[in-house]
Amino acid sequence: MSGTGVFDTKVLPADNDGIKLAADLLKDGQVVAIPTETVYGLAASALDDDAVARIFDAKGRPQDNPLIVHIDRMEMLPQVARAVPEYACKLADAFWPGPLTMVLPKAADVAPRVCAGLDTVGVRLPAHAAARAVIHAANLPLAAPSANLSGGPSPTTAAHVYTDLKGRVPLVLDGGYSPVGVESTVLSLAGAPTLLRPGFVTPAEIEAVLGVPVVLSDGILAPPPEDLKPASPGMKYRHYAPAAEITLVVGDFAAFGALVAERAKAGPVAALCFEGEEKQLPVPAIAYGRAGDDASQAAGLFRALRAVDGLDIPTVYARMPGDSGVGLAVRNRLLRAAGFRVIKL
């Protein structure tokens, strides 16, 4: 594989000029970081295997973890998926454009590296206007994983991308905050509908459209067994992990405060909490959303994980999010960031 290029990374607003430059680079086989409604993506042509290799290179991503392909209109779907089951049509009607990725049988034109040797491809039609404008201008389906260094928290601002990928990519398009804040829901339609990764679109919402139950894959709320080959290869990797060691704490705020105060006697401790709780804790604390408000927790989570790392405190205790609605996605990401360490009070 080619070595990581050295670039004088530009950060440009996602206006007409920025979108045109992004499209020109993508047509030329380069990678560009683009905003989406979930998190920023690191895009390249899904039809060009050398371009896709540059994504893996820039991120330091393991080669066996496949990428999601982004399209801007339904007419592009046959270029990416060779069959579109009835379920997929119903879900596209209900949730596209939006934060749902469907795993479908892969079409021949999709570059081999995109799918890491699988016969399936993850496809998504994003809602973000700038993402769609870039796909439209390049007139290419774009493979794009989250635009972070592999293993770290996903980026929800252009500044996060710049911190991670400065010098490794030619262009970051700045489209402001990613409002959803966690990556798309990944649903396999290769067999019975199976949730591979929870996101903003919930299993209950999918069930309501399909009229059949959605299977939750192992590894969403518990570590996948070491020997099991996960249906979604991404599940086996350490993810979203800041340098600090995070432990999730189940219990009310009073018990959380007491635990943090006790542990702080042994050494520096920080807290990830809900808005309004920061000042009431005896240690440095960062809020990742409002208590009981799963959408605000999703929107704030990755920013908070990066900020807690910035404190340079090795031990972090975090308030446990709920598991209903998009809370399931927040809990999944925090459990993984915490290496599934949980204390129940």
Q: From the list Mg ion, ligand TXA, none, which binds 144 (C-beta under 5 to 8 Å, kind-based)?
A: ligand TXA
Q: Least distance to ligand TXA from the beta carbon of 320, Å? A: 23
103, interface contact from Mg ion, ligand TXA, none, CB < 5-8 Å by kind: ligand TXA
Binding residues (CB under 6 A) for ligand TXA: these are 36, 38-39, 41, 65-68, 99, 101, 103, 115, 118, 120-122, 124, 144-146, 183-184, 186, 196-197, 232-234
Rounded distance, CA 269 to CA 277, Å? 16
DSSP state of 231: S
Closer Cβ to Mg ion, 182 or 328, answer by number? 182
Q: Which is nearer to Mg ion, 146 or 157 (CB)?
A: 146
Which of 60, 225 has the CB closer to Mg ion?
60
Phi and psi at residue 28, to the nearest 5°: -90, 5
Task: Give the span between the Cα atoms of 123 and 78, in whole angstroms.
Answer: 11
Nearer to ligand TXA, 106 or 319 (CB): 106
Can you tell me which of 120, 146, 178, 184 binds Mg ion, judged by CB under 5 A? Answer: 146
Query: Which of Mg ion, ligand TXA, none does residue 41 bind (CB under 5 to 8 Å by kind)?
Result: ligand TXA
Q: What angle do CA 309, 314, 320 make, to 5 degrees?
A: 75
The residue (of 107 and 121) whose beta carbon lies closer to Mg ion is 121
**Amino acid identity, residue 270?**
A
Identify what 272 binds: ligand TXA, Mg ion, none; CB under 5 to 8 Å per kind. none
Kindly report whether the peptide bond that precedes residue 242 is cis, defined as omega within 30 degrees of 0.
Answer: no
CB-nearer residue toward Mg ion: 184 or 297:
184
Task: Work out how close the CB of 144 gets to ligand TXA at its nearest, in angstroms, rounded to a whole number.
Answer: 5
User: Distances in Å between the alpha carbon of 25 and those of 78, 136, 296?
Assistant: 24, 14, 35
Spatial distance between the Cα atoms of 124 and 243, rounded to a whole number of angstroms = 31
* Backbone dihedral region for residue 227 (phi beyond 0: left; psi -120 to 50: alpha; all else: beta): alpha
The residue range among 10-18, 26-34, 144-152, 297-305 that interacts with Mg ion, by the rule CB under 5 A, is: 144-152
Partnered with residue 328 across adjacent β-strands are none
Q: Minimum distance between the CB of residue 316 and ligand TXA, rounded to whole angstroms?
A: 23
Does residue 36 interact with Mg ion by CB under 5 A? no
Q: Enumerate the β-bridge partners of residue 216.
A: 195
Alpha-carbon distance of 93 to 141, in angstroms, equals 19
Pairwise CA distance, residues 187 & 194, whole Å:
6
Residue 92: CB minimum distance to ligand TXA, A: 15
Which one, 134 or 285, has the nearer CB to ligand TXA? 134
Shortest Cβ distance from residue 229 to ligand TXA (Å)? 11
How near is the Cβ of 208 to Mg ion at its closest, in Å? 27
> How far from chain centre, in Å, is Cα 273?
21
Q: Which has the closest alpha carbon to 281: 322, 312, 316? A: 316
Q: How far is residue 344 from each of residues 56, 61, 242, 260, 338, measured CA to CA in Å?
A: 38, 34, 22, 13, 14
User: Dihedral of CA 178/143/101/328: which sign?
Assistant: negative
Region of 45-53, 70-78, 84-92, 138-146 interacting with Mg ion (CB under 5 A) = 138-146
CB of 63 to Mg ion, least distance (A): 15
Q: Which is nearer to ligand TXA, 134 or 264 (CB)?
A: 134
Which parts of this chain interact with Mg ion (CB under 5 A)? Answer: 146
